[in-house]
A and B are shown apart, each in its own frame.
Chain A
């Protein structure tokens, strides 16, 4: 019963480096999304997707790219890492339709940018 799987769990980057955070779900969910969680800020939506080939921006999209080539995978790319992107990143999925909300979250990727 994998649910939503995020890799890696921890990552340290230098400013300017790029990387991809992986997210995969095995529940055939249409809706997937990425959030970042900072102390005292709650969770903020970065990007979301309502199905394969469809993505849209959330509240804080700058500095991040996403793609949705398959239903299962929704990777998040940091193009040129900045210290302000130090955060915990959560991927989530949902069934879509009236359930267009994150019903299942991964355990997060803890990212530090030096």
Chain B
């Protein structure tokens, strides 16, 4: 599969701070997706992006589909303790979804 480079690998922040993570690829994708996974559970879809340049929000989350179609970023504003988890980016090429290795987010009260 096509390799996605997701960074940072982990983040340790205080409640109330903003968070930014990104994903890059050497390949072009038609769709970018962001998921959150809590321990012992399956990933949950947060945001789906379908057009280059698209900027989409879901509550305190904002994600953008890069102009080159090779990258995407996810921002979380005013973090809260329940934001803790692993965030995955994923790029869709045809019917195959390629995942990044995840960003582990820890939020302290």
Q: Do A and B come from one complex?
A: yes
Q: How large is the interface on B (under 10, 10 to 19, 20 to 34, 35 or more residues)?
A: 20 to 34
- Is the pair A92, B42 in contact by a Cβ cutoff of 8 Å? yes
Q: How far is the CA of A43 from the CA of B35 in the complex (A)?
A: 11
- Is the pair B96, A48 in contact by a Cβ cutoff of 8 Å? yes
Q: How far is the CA of A44 from the CA of B95 in the complex (A)?
A: 13
Please, which residue of chain B has its CB at the minimum distance from the CB of A106? Answer: B42
Q: In the complex where A59-B1, A98-B50 touch, is A105 in contact with B97 (Cβ < 8 A)?
A: no
Please, which residue of chain B has its CB at the minimum distance from the CB of A31? Answer: B95
Q: CB < 8 Å: which of B41, B88, B97 contacts A45?
A: B97
- Is the pair A33, B41 in contact by a Cβ cutoff of 8 Å? no
- Is the pair B1, A44 in contact by a Cβ cutoff of 8 Å? yes
In the complex, B33 has a CB within 8 A of chain A: yes
Instruction: Render A62-94 as a binary contact track against B, CB cut-off 8 A, 1 for contact.
Output: 000000000000000000000000000010100
Sample 11 A-B pairs with CB under 8 A, ordered by A number: A33-B97, A35-B99, A40-B101, A42-B100, A45-B97, A45-B98, A101-B31, A101-B90, A102-B43, A103-B45, A108-B42
